[in-house]
Chains A and B, each alone.
Chain A
Amino acid sequence: MGRVAVKEERCKGCGYCLEVCKEGNLYLDSTRRNRSGYSVATFSEDKVCSGCALCAEICPDVALEVYR
């Protein structure tokens, strides 16, 4: 099973990764903000991730690392 690690200080909450993940494993957590003030992409621990890395591929801020 895959896992996505978010480098929260790099994330700007653009949301591209949310759209590309077919499983809906990523969401923007509106209750938290990083030091730049952005709501950051957050990985749902309780869903199934194939580790396809499409989210990291599309991320323009190199904020995601994918493990499998």
Chain B
Amino acid sequence: MSIAAKKRVFASPASLTDNKFHFCPGCHHGLVHRLAAETIDYYDLSSKAIGVIGVGCGVFLYDYLAIDCCESPHGRAPAVATGIKRSNPDSFVVTYQGDGDLAAIGTSEIIHAANRQESITIIFVNNSVYGMTGGQMAPTTLPGQKTTTTPAGRQPVGDGYPINVAELISTLKGTAFAARVACHSHTHIRTARKAMRRAFQAQIEKRGLGLIELLSACPTNWRMTPQQSVRRLEAEMINTFPLGTYKDF
């Protein structure tokens, strides 16, 4: 049977543009972009969604999502999102941030936005390094993990322990939803899709801040093949960053 006679069962979501992703082979940023676009379509938010982009490899989100977007200074996306949402209460505001962005330079902004019960959604990509700048240690780097700034491996005493963002944010009263999911297998991707919907739903129902943390591979800065990197994610990252829903309204 020719392809024209068949039914299309999987296609690019409408809110994703046709632009080719600039990410490295095997990087999960593209997958997270797709899940965001699917969720925007699911809730029919394309005309009222405003993306607020952090600094990192996700910085070109505006090329890929067919929604209005605003760049923010490094780490400040939750503060910029606060201003946008408060001045446009009918808009749907979603930030897209990496772990260097959200958990290092932007730690203050995310904690206080959650604590103020801002009605915004946070998509947080945790790949355990600063990707864009060449693989420096992030607060989410695993103990012993070699990075360009911890060539002998991260030593918790002195370099700090990994920060578990989803758990931390879930302890704040203003947080409506906080969950951690992973991107490396189709079963994990399905769970991630459901969690992404809940993080959006929190804002739609005006319950407070919704955060989804996605464990993601950065094969380039982990110095691994895509296949090695997904195995590392499964074998090492999940032990330090347990998957689960830590707050659900």
Contacts and interface: CB of A to CB of B under 8 A. Distances in A.
B185 interface: yes
A51 B1 CA distance: 14
Contacts of B190: 57
Interface of B: 1, 3, 6-12, 16, 20-21, 23-31, 34, 183, 185-186, 189-190, 226-227, 230
Interface string A26-42: 00000000001010000
Contacts of B11: 65
B29 A65 contact: no
Given A51-B9, A53-B9, A61 B30 contact: yes
Interface residues of A, number: 30
Contacts of B6: 2-3, 67-68
A51 B6 CA distance: 11
Interface string A6-48: 0001101111100110000000000000001010000000000
Nearest to A54: B186
Given A60-B30, A65-B11, 20 more contacts: A2-B6, A3-B6, A5-B3, A9-B20, A10-B21, A12-B25, A15-B226, A15-B227, A16-B226, A19-B227, A38-B25, A57-B189, A57-B190, A58-B186, A60-B26, A60-B29, A61-B20, A65-B12, A66-B10, A68-B7
A11 to B, nearest CB: 9
B26 A14 contact: yes
Contacts of A54: 186
A62 B34 contact: yes
B1 A1 contact: yes
A53 B31 CA distance: 15
The 3 closest A-B pairs by CB, nearest first: A67-B6, A12-B25, A66-B10
Given A20-B186, A60-B31, A62-B12, A13 B25 contact: yes
B21 A66 contact: no
